[in-house]
Amino acid sequence: MYVAVKGGEKAIDNAHALMRTQRRGDTAIAELSVDQIRQQLPLAVDRIMNEGSVYDPELAALALKQASGDAVEAIFLLRAYRTTLPRFGYSEPLDTEQMQIERRISGTFKDLPGGQILGSTYDYTHRLLDFSLLASGEAEVAPAEANALSEALAAGNSCPRVLELLNKEGLIEQSRETGDGDQIPRDLTREPVNYPAERAVRLQNLMRGDEGFLLSLSYASMRGYGDSHPFSGEMRTGRVSVELVPEELGFPIEIGEVLLTESEMVNQFHGSKDLPPQFTRGYGIAFGRAERKAMSVALVERALRAEELGEEVLYPTQDQEFVLSHTDCVSANGFVSHLKLPHYVDFQSELEMIRRLRKEQGQATQSKTTNEEANA
């Protein structure tokens, strides 16, 4: 006699125990510490912080360890923790002009006030596997004086953003919008998004968005599916202080600093009947060293402004509802993976339906043949 599959609870416990064993791997190999992840896999940690929407390298590293290195799972862990955190208040707007710059690249001007600073980068490496890292020796690092120089440079190195230089000449649009939505951004983890969404909401959504998805959308739009092939006006990375005005004090105090990467793209705009031809901006910002993310956000952000700038919306990247509804890797992963959940009942309904349709069709064909035979 058939016995309904019981024991779901035990199966779940066992599955989780097995997962923990797999995560640990060979116990003859030393266990990875959260500090090691934080120090030695910082770019992975930065991605977890960005899409997890929490600036906390330690928790992000912990999530990465707990998730066996699966970025999407780690982001999910961090999000599920973040959602329970109380809100103490909102910081003052960050002033990225005051950033202590460790890297700054402009694709539009060869030299500019503050200079180009190459900083640390994978660009121009020859992507040759470095087998010396495989041998368990210490990797070669920069000499101490180079580090000191770079730090000294960063400390005194705040400079105006490139796009502000264009702004002075009136060649580029003003970036601020007017109205409440611009001054007091909504929190999209607390309120549902209404379409059309204002720019601040769109930017929030993109910052939390899946890096790969945004990268591909940017790529598509640069290749012609979106009419956005901009210049990288500036990309800068460095520390910015975060200020908060406690109610009982009434003036801003510094509560810490965050490492940020900011990207500003410059796009052509041919003008409309109200506006003269001018450059427009695409803006992106991300926690940590996350150039790919910041640039992708800036590209997609600009593409999404098609409607407000009176451009024709022809491609998915320009379509708010298409882009903003599908950026979130936690949601996307959840919904795709929910197909692993049982769908017995719906499938049973479809089975019944398709059997009936086939039967009816079979009967119809049969009676047709019988009629034809009779007529012959």
Partner 1 sequence: MSAATAIGYNFAYLDEQSKRMIRRAILKGVAIPGYQVPFGGREMPLPHGWGTGGMQVTASVIGEADKLKVIDQGADDTTNAVSIRRFFAHTAGVETTELTAEATLIQTRHRIPERPLQADQILIYQVPIPEPLRFIEPRESETRKMHALSEYGAMQVKLYEDVARFGHIATSYDYPVMVNNRYMMDPSPIPKFDNPKMSMMPALQLFGAGFEKRIYAVPPFTQVESLDFDDHPFEVQSWEDACSICGSDHSFLDEVIIDDNGSKMFVCSDTDYCRERVTEGFVGEAPAQLETEQ
Interface with partner 1 by CB under 8 A: which residues?
Answer: 1-2, 4-9, 11-12, 76, 79-80, 82-84, 86, 189-196, 321-322, 330-335, 337-338, 341-346, 348-353, 357, 360
Taking Cα atoms as reference points, which of 89, 19, 36, 78 lies closest to residue 53?
78
Question: Rounded to whole angstroms, how far apart are CA atoms 89 and 249?
Answer: 13
Tell me the torsion sign for CA atoms 99, 105, 108, 113. positive
Residue 346 C-beta: closest distance to partner 1, Å:
4
Residue 54 corresponds to which amino acid? V
Residue 47 C-beta: closest distance to partner 1, Å:
18
Beta carbon nearer to partner 1, 49 or 166: 49
Beta carbon nearer to partner 1, 122 or 344: 344
Collect contacts of 21-27 with beta carbons under 8 A, ≥24 apart: 22/68, 23/66, 23/68
Contacts with 157 (C-beta within 8 Å, 6 or more apart), sequence order: 100, 101, 114, 117, 238
Taking Cα atoms as reference points, which of 70, 47, 59, 112 lies closest to residue 261?
47
Residue 3 C-beta: closest distance to partner 1, Å:
9
Contacts with 64 (C-beta within 8 Å, 6 or more apart), sequence order: 37, 41, 44, 45, 48, 71, 74
Decide: 60 and 78 in contact? Cβ < 8 Å. yes
Beta carbon nearer to partner 1, 191 or 248: 191
Residue 156 C-beta: closest distance to partner 1, Å:
41
Residue 130: exposure state from Cβ atoms within 10 A (0-12, 13-18, ≥19) = exposed
Beta carbon nearer to partner 1, 72 or 165: 72
Decide: 309 and 271 in contact? Cβ < 8 Å. no
Tokens 């007529």 appear where? Answer: 375
Beta carbon nearer to partner 1, 156 or 342: 342
Residue 208 C-beta: closest distance to partner 1, Å:
10
Residue 322 C-beta: closest distance to partner 1, Å:
8
Residue 113 C-beta: closest distance to partner 1, Å:
42
101, two tokens: 């710059």
DSSP letter, residue 172:
B
Residue 84 C-beta: closest distance to partner 1, Å:
7
